[in-house]
Amino acid sequence: MISFQSIRQKIHFIWLGRILFFLLSTLLVIWVAMPRGHAYPFPLDLLDRLHDQLMKQRLTAQPEQRIVLVDIDEVSLAQYGRWPWSRQQIAQLLQQLNQHYQVAHIGLDIIFPESGDLLGDQQIAQLAASKQLTLAQTFGFDRSQSMRVGQLSAAMPLVATPSTPAYGFLANHKMLALAAPCVGHIAITADPDGVVRHQSMLVRYQGQLYPAFAPVLLRCWLGQQAPLQASNGKVEWLQGLSGQQMVDQHGMAAIPFLRKTEAYIAIPASDILSGKAPLSLLHNRLVIVGSSALGLGDYVATILGGRTPGMLLHAQWLSQALDQLEQNKPVVAIGFSSMMAVWAALLLGVILLHRRSNTLRLAWGFLLLMAWLLWLSYTPQEVGANALAPLLGGVVLLILEGGLEWWYAQLGRRQLYLAFHHYVPPAIIDQLIGNNSQAIMLPHRAEITCLFADLQGYTGIAERLPPEELAHYTRHALMLLTQAVLDQQGTLDKYMGDALFAFWGAPVAQSDHANRAINAAIAMQQAVDKHNQTAAIDKQIKVHIGIQTGLVVVGDMGTPFRSTYTAIGDAVNVSARLQNLASLHNEKILVGESTERQLAYSPLQLYGTVSLKGRRGVEQVYRLP
> Quick check: 513 and 451 in contact, CB under 8 A?
no
Instruction: Tell me the mean pLDDT in the region 119-128.
Output: 96
Residue in 165, 225, 184 with CA at minimum distance from that of residue 313: 184
38 has a pLDDT exceeding 50: no
Listed range (243-247, 367-371, 472-476) with the worst mean pLDDT:
243-247
Is there a domain that residue 429 lies in? no
pLDDT band at 382 (very low <50, low <70, confident <90, very high): very low
Number of domains in the chain: 3
**547 and 450 share one domain:** yes
Percent of the chain predicted with pLDDT > 90? 44
Is there a domain that residue 283 lies in? no
**472 and 582 share one domain:** yes
Report the pLDDT value the prediction gives residue 364, as an integer from 0 to 100: 59
Is there a domain that residue 485 lies in? yes
In this structure, how many other beta carbons lie within 10 angstroms of the beta carbon of residue 129?
A: 15
Report the pLDDT value the prediction gives residue 371, as an integer from 0 to 100: 60
pLDDT band at 54 (very low <50, low <70, confident <90, very high): low
Residue in 561, 97, 84 with CA at minimum distance from that of residue 293: 84
Residue 211 three-state SS? strand
Report the pLDDT value the prediction gives residue 350, as an integer from 0 to 100: 47
Please provide residue 185's backbone torsions phi and psi, each rounded to the nearest 5 degrees.
-85, 145
Rounded to 10°, the helix 336-353/389-420 angle is: 70
**482 and 539 share one domain:** yes
Residue in 21, 18, 36 with CA at minimum distance from that of residue 336: 36
Listed range (13-22, 98-107, 357-366, 520-529) with the worst mean pLDDT:
13-22
pTM of the entire structure? Answer: 0.52
d(CA 199, CA 187): 8
Listed range (7-11, 16-20, 459-463) with the worst mean pLDDT:
7-11
296: region left, alpha or beta (phi > 0 left; psi from -120 to 50 alpha): alpha
349 has a pLDDT exceeding 60: no
pLDDT band at 39 (very low <50, low <70, confident <90, very high): very low
376 has a pLDDT exceeding 80: no
> Quick check: 246 and 381 in contact, CB under 8 A?
no
In sequence order, which residues have a C-beta less than 8 Å from that of residue 14 and are 6 or more positions away? Answer: none
582 has a pLDDT exceeding 80: yes
Report the pLDDT value the prediction gives residue 483, as an integer from 0 to 100: 93
pLDDT band at 530 (very low <50, low <70, confident <90, very high): very high
Instruction: Tell me the mean pLDDT in the region 425-436.
Output: 58
Beta bridge partners of 589: 545
Residue in 295, 399, 412 with CA at minimum distance from that of residue 342: 399
**341 and 309 share one domain:** no
**600 and 480 share one domain:** yes
Report the pLDDT value the prediction gives residue 462, as an integer from 0 to 100: 83
In this structure, how many other beta carbons lie within 10 angstroms of the beta carbon of residue 395?
A: 20
- Using a 10 angstrom Cβ sphere, with 0-12 exposed, 13-18 middle and 19 or more buried, the burial of residue 542 is middle
pLDDT band at 14 (very low <50, low <70, confident <90, very high): very low
- E-strand stretches of 432-483: 444-455
Residue 471 three-state SS? helix
pLDDT band at 255 (very low <50, low <70, confident <90, very high): confident
d(CA 78, CA 55): 37
Q: What is the pLDDT of residues 176-213, one digit of tens each?
A: 999 999 999 999 988 888 889 889 989 999 999 999 99
What is the 3-state secondary structure of 384-446? Answer: CHHHHHHHHHHHHHHHHHHHHHHHHHHHHHHHHHHHHCCCCCHHHHHHHHHHCCHHHHCCEEE
**149 and 195 share one domain:** yes
**581 and 450 share one domain:** yes
Instruction: Tell me the mean pLDDT in the region 589-593.
Output: 95
DSSP secondary structure code for residue 334 in this structure: P
**Higher-pLDDT residue of 80, 539:** 80
In this structure, how many other beta carbons lie within 10 angstroms of the beta carbon of residue 589?
A: 26
**403 and 344 share one domain:** yes
pLDDT band at 568 (very low <50, low <70, confident <90, very high): very high
Q: Give the end of a domain, one of 327, 344, 361.
A: 327
Is there a domain that residue 101 lies in? no
> Quick check: 368 and 348 in contact, CB under 8 A?
no
Instruction: Tell me the mean pLDDT in the region 337-343.
Output: 48
Is there a domain that residue 549 lies in? yes
Instruction: Tell me the mean pLDDT in the region 329-347.
Output: 46
- What's the domain range around 130? 85-94+106-262+301-327
Is there a domain that residue 515 lies in? yes
> Quick check: 293 and 80 in contact, CB under 8 A?
no
Buried b (16+ CB within 10 A) or exposed e, 319-343: bbbbbbbeeeeebbebbbbbbbbbb
Integer Rg of the chain from CA: 30
Report the pLDDT value the prediction gives residue 388, as an integer from 0 to 100: 40
> Quick check: 321 and 331 in contact, CB under 8 A?
yes
In this structure, how many other beta carbons lie within 10 angstroms of the beta carbon of residue 491?
A: 25
Instruction: Tell me the mean pLDDT in the region 283-303.
Output: 85
Report the pLDDT value the prediction gives residue 574, as an integer from 0 to 100: 94
Is there a domain that residue 122 lies in? yes
Residue in 365, 341, 257 with CA at minimum distance from that of residue 305: 257
The helix (H) or strand (E) run that includes residue 605 is: strand 605-610
What is the 3-state secondary structure of 566-587? Answer: EEECHHHHHHHHHHHHHHHCCC
**400 and 323 share one domain:** no
Mean pLDDT (the chain) is: 78
Which domain CATH number covers 482?
3.30.70.1230
**580 and 455 share one domain:** yes
pLDDT band at 418 (very low <50, low <70, confident <90, very high): low
Instruction: Tell me the mean pLDDT in the region 235-247.
Output: 49
Listed range (55-64, 477-486, 533-542, 559-568) with the worst mean pLDDT:
559-568
pLDDT band at 577 (very low <50, low <70, confident <90, very high): very high
The helix (H) or strand (E) run that includes residue 122 is: helix 118-129
**362 and 393 share one domain:** yes
In sequence order, which residues have a C-beta less than 8 Å from that of residue 3 and are 6 or more positions away? Answer: 439
Report the pLDDT value the prediction gives residue 47, as an integer from 0 to 100: 55
**489 and 352 share one domain:** no
25 has a pLDDT exceeding 80: no
AA identity, residue 329:
K
pLDDT band at 293 (very low <50, low <70, confident <90, very high): confident
Please provide residue 159's backbone torsions phi and psi, each rounded to the nearest 5 degrees.
-130, 165
Is there a domain that residue 271 lies in? no
